Amino acid sequence: MSPDWPRGLYQLLKAQNIRQVSVVPDAGHMELIEFCESDSAIELVRLTTEEEGVALAMGAWLGGDKSVLLTQSSGVGNCVNMLSMLAVSQTPLTMLVTMRGDWGEFNPWQVPMGRATQPVLEAMGVLVSRADRADDVVPLAEGALRIAYNTLRPTALLIGQRLLGAKTFKD
């Protein structure tokens, strides 16, 4: 497996017929965003807040399409109320979550939500897995997509901060 996991994720989204990708722009997802943006078969939707991505996923599913939400761990906190709708309505969604607030974090404000991300998602009925090695990202994302769309449940893959590199104040 190549450590070029953003390209691998893009190829996986294509193979799984993901037609809509919603995102609040994030440096951790930048390569994947660029791949999706250049693909006319994928509708890339820039959000003002991550919870809009949950609503878009519901609309996409009702319209017969699959979608993915790209978010940072800090954005998960914005989605909590909306996530309850997914579980109740049996609407599938996979979230690819770049983590902040763990390995090498410089910003103390990122730490609380970084630590709370997985328990918050699980409390809202989201099935969560975590990739801390580049070789695990694509296989775990594939598993998350399959279980979401086969069982009509929300899933999330947390992409560890160690894979993204630690940010500094100058980044």
Q: Which residues pair with 43 in a beta bridge?
A: 20
pTM score of the predicted model: 0.93
The letter for the amino acid at 50 is: E
Residue 48 CA from chain centroid, whole number: 16
Structural domains present in the chain: 5-164 (3.40.50.970)
Side-chain-side CA neighbours of residue 111 (13 Å): 7
The model's pLDDT over 7-66, given as tens digits with 9 standing for 90+, comes to: 999 999 999 999 999 999 888 999 999 999 999 999 999 999 999 999 999 999 999 999
